[in-house]
C-alpha cells in the first residue's frame, strides 16, 4: 500500500468508526467499474486480506440457461479454513450460513456488492465465539468493500 492510499484508508476507517453508531445488518457498496473489473478487484482484495475464494456461483448462467433474462449475478464464497473449522465446531448453528458470501451483480455500467454484516453471525453464535472475532471480520469486509468502491 502506498502512503497516500494508507492515509486515505485510515481517514476512511476513522470516518467509519465515528459515524457508524448504528449497526447495519446488510453492508452494501457500489463500484463505478463494470462487472468484470469489479469482480477482479473484489477477488484480489479478498486474497490480499488473507481469505480464500472457495467458489463463485454463477446465478446468471443458471438463469439464462433456463431461458430467463438477467444481467451478471454471481455469489462469491470466501473464508479462512481455520476460522470455518473453529466456527462450525463452536457454533454449529452457523453451518448453513458458511462459508460466508458476497453477492456481486451488474447494475447497468456499474456493479453493486451486498453482504451480511458478520456482526449478525456473532448474534447467531450467541456467545459461543468471542465477539471480537466478528468485529475483526466486519472490518476486513468493510476494507474489502472499500477497495472495490474506490477502485477506478
Partner 1 sequence: MRLILGVLLTAVSLVAAAAPDGAELFGRYCAACHGDKGDGGVGVPLSLPTFLDSVDDRFLAETIRYGRPGRVMPAFDALSDAQVSAIVTYIRAWSKQPAPIYGDKPVSGDPVHGKELFASHCAACHGENGGGGKGTGVTFSRHRDLPIIAPALNNSGFLRAATDEMIRYTLQYGRPGTPMISSKEQGLSGQDVNDLVSYVRSFDGHATDTHPADPAVAATLSAESPYTLEETVENIKQAITSQNFILIRTDTLEHGLVKEGEENPRQVILHFCNFNFLYEALAVDPRVGMFLPCLVAVTEQAGKVTVSTIDPQYLSQLFNNVELDEYCKRMRGVYQSIIEEATL
Question: For cell 459461543, what's the residue?
Answer: 128
Question: For cell 473449522, what's the residue?
Answer: 85
Query: Measured between alpha carbons, how far is 96 from 63 in angstroms, rounded to an integer?
Result: 23
Burial, 56: exposed, middle or buried (Cβ in 10 Å; 0-12, 13-18, 19+)?
A: middle
Query: Measured between alpha carbons, how far is 119 from 137 in angstroms, rounded to an integer?
Result: 8
- What is the size of the binding site for partner 1 (CB under 8 A)? 64
Helix, strand or coil, per DSSP, at residue 10: helix
Q: Give least dist CB 55 to partner 1, A.
A: 5
C-alpha cell at 94: 452457523
7 binds partner 1 (CB under 8 A): yes
- Single out the residue of 2, 25, 132, 152 in contact with partner 1 (rule: CB under 8 A): 25
Hey, which residues between 48 and 77 contact partner 1 (CB under 8 A)?
A: 52-55, 57, 59, 62-63, 66, 68-73, 75, 77
Q: Give least dist CB 131 to partner 1, A.
A: 16
Give the footprint of partner 1 on this chain (CB under 8 A): 6-7, 10-11, 14-16, 18-19, 21-22, 24-26, 28-30, 32, 52-55, 57, 59, 62-63, 66, 68-73, 75, 77, 79-81, 84-85, 88, 92-99, 101, 103, 105-108, 110, 112-116, 120, 124, 149
Amino acid at each position: 500500500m502506498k502512503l497516500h492510499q494508507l492515509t486515505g484508508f485510515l481517514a476512511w476507517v476513522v470516518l467509519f468508526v465515528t459515524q457508524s453508531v448504528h449497526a447495519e445488518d446488510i453492508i452494501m457498496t457500489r463500484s463505478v467499474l463494470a462487472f468484470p473489473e469489479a469482480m477482479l478487484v473484489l477477488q484480489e482484495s479478498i486474497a490480499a486480506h488473507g481469505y480464500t475464494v472457495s467458489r463463485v456461483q454463477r446465478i446468471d448462467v443458471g438463469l439464462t440457461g433456463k431461458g430467463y433474462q438477467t444481467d451478471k449475478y454471481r455469489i462469491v464464497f470466501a473464508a479462512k479454513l481455520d476460522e470455518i473449522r473453529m466456527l462450525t465446531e463452536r457454533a454449529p448453528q452457523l453451518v448453513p450460513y458458511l462459508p460466508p458470501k458476497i453477492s456481486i451483480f451488474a447494475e447497468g455500467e456499474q456493479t453493486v456488492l451486498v453482504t451480511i454484516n458478520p456482526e449478525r453471525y456473532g448474534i447467531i453464535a450467541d456467545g459461543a465465539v468471542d465477539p471480537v472475532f466478528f468485529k475483526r471480520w466486519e472490518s476486513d469486509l468493510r476494507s474489502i468493500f472499500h477497495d472495490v468502491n474506490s477502485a477506478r
